């Protein structure tokens, strides 16, 4: 068994759980665990998505109070036999669980994109939500291949090539600009937003990861007061805050590994169907899968950089949709 790979995979799942448990809402933890189980037991994107759909319906029927609106919508459509189950709202549920896809498939980019898209579309049909999920998985894949002290801004920059949705392209570029300016978390929240929209939740998670991702404790010391917690709700806080926290925890856990996560946070996690013991078991199962060979070169997107297409000015994004917006390098 590849112990290094197992540690990174456990870091992904436990990182989600540690931040997802802050407000007692475990949707991202449960769905990350369901996705991990599907990845460990199925092979093709279609089989993985089918396994995920079945488990999602079963969990939603047994524990409806733990599911969000998007999950209940998808479960209802699947139970009725509808082919398309994803909601058209651009929320962050698919992105919140997507990191495990990248951590489990760090080498084969085509397979990673196919599986990531298939899993995202189970609950989310909006292109912004799907692109956000692919981006989250791409960052996680880069974290697996990077050293624990790797340049986080470079990791995020390289992962942006999968994003095509103009609003998300612009927001991620703006997050990188804010990191370069070394702004505070409070200012980043005001500039990027933290509402229901995935084009706010994912860029904010990316900013926090790049700016304060040295450790989970450091990141949450900055992140939690800015976006609000159950005991201190910020005016901007919304469901997107939960997705941001889960994504942030997943990325930091993937990059640093489970052994480097703060014991105080992990020890507070409760055992259960997707408690820490089960999440470690899923990580071990995924680590036993045959590892793919490392690619000879990184995938690149065609077209010019977003820097040469969309001029960025503080507090003036997002601009009106334009056909000139293209995906980034």
Q: In Å, what is the CA distance from 40 to each residue of 53, 133, 181, 325?
A: 15, 19, 41, 37
Question: Would 183 be classed as within a structural domain?
Answer: yes
CATH number of the domain that 72 lies in?
Answer: 1.10.4080.10
Q: Which residues contact 236 (CB under 8 A, 6 or more apart)?
A: 189, 190, 193, 194, 195, 227, 228
Question: Would 202 be classed as within a structural domain?
Answer: yes
**Domain count across the chain:** 1
Q: Where are the beta strands (DSSP E) in 171-295?
A: 228-229, 232-233
Question: Would 129 be classed as within a structural domain?
Answer: yes
Cα atoms in the Cβ-side hemisphere of radius 13 Å centred on 27: 26
Question: Would 310 be classed as within a structural domain?
Answer: no
Q: In Å, what is the CA distance from 303 to each residue of 30, 232, 243, 329?
A: 38, 44, 30, 7
pLDDT at 290: 54
Question: Would 298 be classed as within a structural domain?
Answer: no
Question: Would 250 be classed as within a structural domain?
Answer: yes
Record the pTM.
Answer: 0.85
Do residues 319 and 133 lie in contact, with contact meaning Cβ atoms separated by under 8 Å? no
- The parent domain of residue 186 ranges over 3-289
What is the rounded distance in angstroms from the CA atom of residue 52 to the CA atom of residue 322? 36
Question: Would 63 be classed as within a structural domain?
Answer: yes
pLDDT at 237: 53
Write the burial class of residue 267 (CB in 10 Å: 0-12 exposed, 13-18 middle, 19+ buried): exposed
Backbone angles phi and psi of 156, in degrees to 5: -65, -40
**Residues 63-88: tens digit of each pLDDT:** 887 788 888 999 999 988 888 898 88
What is the rounded distance in angstroms from the CA atom of residue 271 to the CA atom of residue 219? 25
Do residues 329 and 305 lie in contact, with contact meaning Cβ atoms separated by under 8 Å? yes
Question: Would 303 be classed as within a structural domain?
Answer: no
- Splitting the chain (329 residues) into consecutive groups of 10 residues, what average pLDDT does each group show? 88 92 73 96 93 93 84 90 88 94 95 96 95 98 92 96 96 96 93 85 96 93 75 52 92 95 87 91 89 48 38 38 37
* Max Cα-Cα span within the chain: 51
Enumerate the β-bridge partners of residue 232. 229
pLDDT at 161: 96
């Amino acid at each position: 068994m590849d112990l290094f790979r197992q540690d990174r995979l456990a870091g992904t799942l436990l990182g989600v759980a540690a931040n997802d448990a802050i407000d007692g809402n475990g949707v991202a933890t449960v769905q990350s665990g369901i996705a991990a189980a599907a990845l460990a037991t199925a092979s093709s994107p279609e089989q993985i998505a089918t396994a995920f759909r079945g488990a999602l319906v079963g969990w939603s029927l047994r524990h409806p109070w733990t599911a969000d609106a998007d999950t209940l919508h998808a479960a209802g459509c699947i139970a009725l036999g509808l082919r398309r189950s994803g909601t058209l709202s651009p929320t962050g549920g698919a992105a919140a669980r997507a990191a495990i896809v990248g951590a489990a498939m760090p080498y084969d980019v085509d397979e990673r994109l196919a599986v990531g898209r298939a899993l995202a579309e189970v609950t989310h049909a909006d292109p912004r939500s799907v692109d956000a999920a692919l981006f989250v998985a791409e960052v996680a894949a880069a974290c697996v291949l990077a050293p624990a002290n790797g340049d986080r801004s470079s990791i995020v920059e390289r992962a942006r090539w999968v994003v095509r949705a103009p609003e998300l392209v612009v927001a991620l570029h703006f997050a990188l600009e804010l990191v370069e300016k070394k702004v505070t978390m409070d200012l980043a929240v005001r500039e990027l937003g933290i509402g229901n929209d995935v084009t706010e939740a994912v860029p904010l998670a990316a900013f926090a990861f790049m700016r304060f991702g040295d450790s989970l404790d450091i990141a949450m010391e900055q992140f939690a007061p800015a976006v609000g917690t159950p005991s201190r709700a910020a005016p901007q806080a919304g469901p997107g805050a939960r997705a941001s926290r889960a994504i942030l925890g997943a990325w930091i856990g993937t990059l640093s590994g489970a052994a480097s996560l703060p014991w105080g946070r992990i020890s507070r996690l409760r055992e259960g169907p997707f408690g820490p013991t089960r999440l470690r078991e899923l990580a071990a199962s995924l680590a036993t899968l045959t590892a793919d060979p490392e690619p000879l070169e990184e995938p690149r997107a065609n077209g010019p950089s977003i820097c040469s297409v969309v001029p960025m000015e503080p507090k003036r994004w997002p601009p009106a949709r334009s056909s000139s917006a293209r995906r980034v390098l």
